[in-house]
Amino acid sequence: MKRAGALPSVVQRRLDGQGAAGAAWRAGLDDLVADLERAWRVTIGAPMTGGTAAFVAPARLADGGEAIVKLSVPGENRGAAEVLIAANGRGYAKVLAHDRARDALLMEKLGAPLSSRGLPGPEERAIICDVLEQAWMPLPAGVTFMTGVEKARSLVVYPRKWPAKVGVSVSSDLMALVERCAAARAAAFDPAASIVAHGDCHTNNLLAAPGGGYKFVDPEGMFIERAYDLGLQMREWPEELLDAPTANGRARADVLAKRGGVDPQAVWEWGVLERTSTGLVLIEIGYGDIGRECLAIAEAWARGA
Q: Indicate which CATH number applies to the domain containing 52.
A: 3.30.200.20
Residue 253 neighbours by CB under 8 Å, 6+ apart: 231, 234, 264, 265, 267, 268, 271
Report the alpha-carbon distance of residue 14 to residue 72 in Å, rounded: 11
Query: Per 3-state DSSP, what percentage of the chain is helix, strand, and coil (rounded to 5)?
Result: 55, 15, 30
Q: Does one domain contain both 66 and 198?
A: no
Residue 112 neighbours by CB under 8 Å, 6+ apart: 207, 208
**Average pLDDT of the residues of the chain:** 93
Q: Does one domain contain both 227 and 299?
A: yes
Q: Does one domain contain both 74 and 144?
A: no
Report the alpha-carbon distance of residue 213 to residue 110 in Å, rounded: 11
pLDDT band at 1 (very low <50, low <70, confident <90, very high): very low
Q: Does one domain contain both 23 and 66?
A: yes
Q: Does one domain contain both 157 and 184?
A: yes
Query: What pLDDT is recorded for position 5?
Result: 66
Query: What pLDDT is recorded for position 212?
Result: 94
pLDDT tens figures, 119-130: 999 999 999 999
Orientation angle between helical segments 245-260 and 121-135, nearest 10 degrees? 30
- Of the candidates 272, 278, 279, the one whose C-alpha atom is nearest the C-alpha of residue 246 is 272
Query: Domain end: 46, 73, 108, which one?
Result: 108
* First-to-last C-alpha distance (Å) of the chain: 58
Is residue 114, in this structure, part of any structural domain at all? no
Beta-bridge partner residues of 69: 57, 106
pLDDT tens figures, 183-206: 999 999 999 999 999 999 999 999
Is residue 116, in this structure, part of any structural domain at all? no
What residues make up the domain containing 243? 121-303
Over residues 71-94, the mean pLDDT reads 89
Quick check: 2 pLDDT over 60? no
| Residue 63: Cβ-neighbour burial (10 angstroms; 0-12, 13-18, 19+) | exposed
Report the alpha-carbon distance of residue 228 to residue 230 in Å, rounded: 5
Over residues 257-266, the mean pLDDT reads 97
Q: Does one domain contain both 130 and 79?
A: no
Percent of the chain with pLDDT over 90: 80
Report the alpha-carbon distance of residue 189 to residue 167 in Å, rounded: 33
CB 114 within 8 A of CB 206: yes
Q: Does one domain contain both 16 and 80?
A: yes
The 10 Å CB-count burial string (b at 16+, else e) for 126-165 is ebbbebbeebbbeeeeeeebbbbbebbeebbebbeebbee
pLDDT band at 175 (very low <50, low <70, confident <90, very high): very high
Domains contained in the chain, number: 2
Is residue 1, in this structure, part of any structural domain at all? no
Is residue 26, in this structure, part of any structural domain at all? yes
Is residue 229, in this structure, part of any structural domain at all? yes
Quick check: 281 pLDDT over 80? yes
Sequence-ordered alpha helix ranges (H) in the chain: 9-17, 20-40, 79-87, 121-135, 148-166, 172-187, 226-231, 245-260, 264-284, 288-303
Quick check: 40 pLDDT over 50? yes
Q: Does one domain contain both 93 and 181?
A: no
Q: Does one domain contain both 240 and 138?
A: yes
Query: What pLDDT is recorded for position 211?
Result: 87
Four-CA torsion 120, 126, 131, 136, nearest 10 degrees: 130
CA-to-CA separations, 47 to 3, 5, 7, 68, 129, in angstroms, rounded:
10, 7, 6, 10, 30
For residue 201, the domain's CATH number is: 3.90.1200.10
**3-state class (DSSP) for residue 189:** coil
Q: Does one domain contain both 104 and 173?
A: no
Q: Does one domain contain both 96 and 199?
A: no
Q: Does one domain contain both 142 and 287?
A: yes
Report the alpha-carbon distance of residue 34 to residue 2 in Å, rounded: 10
Percent of the chain with pLDDT over 70: 97
